[in-house]
């Protein structure tokens, strides 16, 4: 039983080593508001609204304002460049 417990504790420590830095990165996420997204991607209010309603983009709201994680759009752009597709 002692060997199994030691192995389990080592696995838990390894998971902590991997997960905690990832969680820390999320705490330092940069969030863009709707105006930033519309300006950077040249999209209208209605297009942004439709994207939110379809859950096509991640967002959260505080009061009456919506915020979007910048990292999502960075990854999206990198994928578009990688696939040589144009933004919609």
Cα–Cα distance measured from residue 27 to residue 47, given in angstroms and rounded to the nearest whole number: 29
Give per-residue pLDDT as tens, 8-61. 788 888 777 766 665 555 567 889 999 999 998 899 999 999 999 999 999 999
Residue 77 has pLDDT above 90, yes or no: no
pTM score over 0.85: no
The SS3 call for residue 4 is helix
Cα–Cα distance measured from residue 2 to residue 23, given in angstroms and rounded to the nearest whole number: 31
């Amino acid at each position: 039983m002692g060997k199994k417990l030691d192995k389990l504790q080592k696995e838990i420590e390894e998971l902590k080593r991997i997960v905690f830095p990832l969680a820390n990165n999320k705490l330092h996420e940069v969030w863009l508001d709707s105006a930033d997204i519309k300006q950077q991607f040249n999209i209208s209010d209605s297009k942004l609204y439709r994207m939110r309603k379809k859950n096509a983009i991640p967002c959260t709201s505080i009061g009456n304002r919506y915020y979007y994680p910048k990292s999502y759009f960075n990854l999206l752009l990198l994928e578009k460049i990688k696939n040589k597709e144009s933004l919609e």
